[in-house]
Chain A
Amino acid sequence: MATLKELKVRISGIKSTQKITKAMKMVSSAKMKRAQDKIIAARPFAYKINKMLNELILNAETGSIDDLLNVREVKTKCVVIVSSDKGLAGSFNTNIIRYSSNYLAKLDPETKIITVGKKATDFFKKKKVRLINSYPGVFNDLTIDISNEIVNYIVESYKKKEFDSVEIIYNEFKSVVKQLTVKEQFLPLTGEEVKDGKNKSTDLKNENTDEKKKAVKTDYIYEPSLIEIIKELIPKQLKVQFWKILLESNAAEQAARLTAMETATKNAQDLLKILEVSYNQARQAAITKEILEIVGGAEALKES
C-alpha cells in the first residue's frame, strides 16, 4: 500500500490537472460559440450568392462561361487538408490524417497537397508527398483575409493548370458531440446548395433545369454583361465556400476539444474518488496503529 505522503502528492497532482482540463473546456466552449456565430453570420451571404449564381448560369445557356466552371480532364488532382493548429482535441486530427492518408494512398503519387493548420502540415512534411503549399497557424486568429489568400492561391494555380481538380478534406461540425470527416469538391465549381448549413451536392448546369427556368426567368438588364457578372460572382462563391469550410473546421475542433476535456475532467474526478478512499483508509490504518502502539506501551508500563 502506498504511503500517506505518496497518496497526497498524487491527489494534489490530479487536482491541478483537473483544474487545467476544466479551464480548457470552458475556453473551448466560448471559442466554439464564437465560431458557430460566424458560421451563422456567413449563411445568408452564402445562400444569396449561390442562388444568384444558379439563376444567372441558367440564364446564360452558353457552353463555356468561365474556366472555373468547366470540367476538364483530370490529370493531376489537388487535395487540401484542413486540420487544427493545436492538439488535445480528441481524435480530431487523428481522424483527418487517417482519412487523408487512406484517400491519398488510392490516388496518383503525383497528387498535389495543400495543408491548412499546423498538425497536418507537420505530419505531411515528413511524408513523401507533393506538398505544394501549407498554411500553419491560421486558426490562432482566423480572419477572412487569410481564407481569401488561400483561395486566391488555389484559383491562380488552377488557372495555370498546375492541377485539374481540387478537393478539400475537413471535419464538419455536426453537433457538439459529433464531427464528421468529409471530402468536398472545390474546383471546378459545382453548385453547393447552402441551406441551413447543410450542403447538398447538385450540379449547377443539369439540375431539373426546366422547372427552375420557369421559376426564375426574369428579363434582367445586365450591367455590363451577364458573363461579366458571373465572372465576378464565381470568385466570391469560392471564397465564401472556403471561408465556411474553415469556420466549420474551427467549430468542429473546439467541439472535439470540449468533449475531450469534459471526459478528462470526469476521469480525473473518478480517479480522485478512488484515491481519496485509499487515502482515508491509509490514514485510518495509521491512526489505529498508533493507538495500538500507545495502548501497548501503557500496558507494558503498568505491568512493570
Chain B
Amino acid sequence: MSFNLEIFTPLKVVFKGSVKSVTIPGTEGSFQVLQNHAPLISNFSVGMIKIETESGLNEYSTGGGVFEVKKNDAVIIAQSVESKADIDLRRAKLSKERAEAVLKDPKATHVQLEDARETLHRAVNRIRIIENK
C-alpha cells in the first residue's frame, strides 16, 4: 500500500523512499495522494507537506513548488522543503521582521513589496509549523 516519493531542492535531496500517503498544499486547495493515483502535475504554494510512512507522520514546511505523480512515482520539486528539525526559527523571525519593515516603507517599489509579501508568507508559515508542535 505504498508508493515512491522523492523531494528535490537545489540544496539537497530532502526525502527519498516509500510512503503511504502525501498531503500537498496545492494552489487550488490542499489534497492528499495515495497509491495508484492518476498521473497528475500540480503547483503548490507556501504551506505544509505531510508525509505518512510506515514509521509515522512527518511534517515539512515548503515555500511552494511543483508536484508530479505518475505510475506510483511521486516527485516534489521545490525551492525549499524543510523538516521541523531543519527550520531555522531565528532566521524565519528575522526575515519576518525585515519583510514587515519593507511593507511599511512608503518608498518601496512594487517589486520589493511583492517580494516582501512572499517572504513574509514563507516566514510566517515556518514559524507556524514550528510553534504548532
Contact = CB atoms under 8 A, between A and B. Distances in A.
B128 interface: no
Interface string B32-62: 0000001111110000000000000000000
A236 B77 contact: yes
A25 interface: no
A223 interface: yes
A55 to B, nearest CB: 9
Contacts of A240: 10
A152 B115 contact: yes
Nearest to A218: B39
B117 to A, nearest CB: 14
Given A229-B66, A239-B79, A224 B10 contact: no
B39 A220 contact: yes
A152 to B, nearest CB: 7
A49 B67 CA distance: 11
B39 A44 contact: no
A229 B41 contact: yes
A144 B66 contact: no
Nearest to B64: A232
A42 B66 CA distance: 17
Contacts of B43: 223-224, 228-229, 232
A226 B41 CA distance: 8
A48 B10 contact: no
A26 interface: no
B11 A221 contact: no
Q: Which of A45, A52, A56, A220 is packed against the most chain B CB atoms within 10 Å?
A: A45
B27 A223 contact: yes
A156 B28 contact: no
Interface string A126-162: 0000000000000000001000100010001000000
Interface in A79-93: none
A243 interface: yes
A41 interface: yes
B41 A222 contact: yes
B66 A52 contact: yes
A44 B27 CA distance: 25
A221 B77 CA distance: 17
B13 A44 contact: yes
B39 to A, nearest CB: 5
Contacts of A14: none
A223 B30 CA distance: 11
A236 B65 contact: yes
A73 interface: no
A45 B80 CA distance: 11
Contacts of B79: 148, 236, 239
Nearest to A37: B12
Contact of B77 (A49, A144, A156, A228): A49
A233 interface: yes
B70 A41 contact: no
Contacts of A243: 10
B39 A42 contact: no
B9 interface: yes
Interface string A194-225: 00000000000000000000000011111110
Given A48-B8, A236-B79, A223 B41 contact: yes
Given A52-B66, A56-B41, 7 more contacts: A42-B10, A45-B13, A46-B10, A144-B11, A223-B26, A223-B28, A223-B41
Interface of B: 6, 8-13, 26-28, 38-43, 64-66, 68, 70, 75, 77, 79, 111, 115
7 contacts: A42-B10, A44-B13, A156-B111, A220-B68, A221-B40, A224-B27, A236-B65
